[in-house]
């Protein structure tokens, strides 16, 4: 499945993102969670969630159900591209452009926290689509 994601990203012009993300621990965490979702490895994806998120959802199965139902573009992306990173009120946020299987693009904002286990995802927001159609 990882090869499928890489090939899809290349076809969509998004480049081989996993190799680039490996050089950056924040992006690597996000990419690794996407990879786990592509394998339906909800326990693996749950491992990248912060203690707060783990406390809210309790189990990988509950977490996986929430992602499948609320964030289908994350569960089955056709491509991803890391965008800008910034700090807001002391919190680190990483924007990610996700292309879903229907070709629609979504901008997601990942709040990241640095933990003793490394960078973890503390929340994801779907940002309003600001693209203008012609």
Per the structure, how many domains does the chain have? 1
Q: What is the CATH number of the domain that holds 48?
A: 3.10.450.50
pLDDT of residue 21: 52
* Predicted structure pTM score: 0.80
Q: Write down the pLDDT at residue 50.
A: 98
Q: Determine which helix (DSSP H) or strand (DSSP E) holds 31, and give its type and residue range.
A: helix 25-38
Q: Give the integer Cα–Cα distance in Å for 66 and 21.
A: 25
Range of the domain at 42: 2-126
Query: Digits of tens for pLDDT over the chain (134 positions)?
Result: 443 444 344 444 444 444 445 589 999 999 999 999 999 999 999 999 999 999 999 999 999 999 999 999 999 999 999 999 999 999 999 999 999 999 999 999 999 999 999 999 999 999 997 765 54
Helix (H) or strand (E) holding 99: strand 91-100
Do 69 and 50 contact (CB within 8 A), yes or no?
Answer: no
Give dist(CA 118, CA 81) in Å, integer: 22
44 three-class SS: helix
Distance CA 129, CA 109 (A): 12
Which residue has tokens 């809210």? 56
Residue 131, domain member (yes or no) = no
Q: What is the pLDDT of residue 130?
A: 74
The verdict on residue 30 lying in a domain is yes
């Amino acid at each position: 499945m990882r090869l499928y994601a890489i090939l899809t990203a290349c076809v969509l012009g998004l480049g081989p993102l996993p190799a680039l993300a490996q050089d950056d621990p924040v992006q690597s965490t996000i990419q690794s969670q996407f990879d786990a979702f592509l394998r339906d490895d909800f326990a693996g994806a749950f491992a990248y969630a912060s203690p707060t998120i783990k406390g809210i959802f309790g189990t990988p199965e509950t977490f996986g159900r929430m992602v499948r139902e609320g964030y289908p573009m994350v569960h089955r992306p056709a491509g991803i591209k890391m965008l800008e990173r910034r700090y807001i009120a002391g919190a680190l946020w990483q924007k990610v452009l996700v292309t879903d299987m229907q070709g629609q693009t979504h901008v997601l904002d990942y709040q990241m926290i640095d933990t003793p286990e490394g960078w973890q995802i503390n929340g994801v927001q779907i940002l309003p689509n600001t693209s203008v159609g012609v």
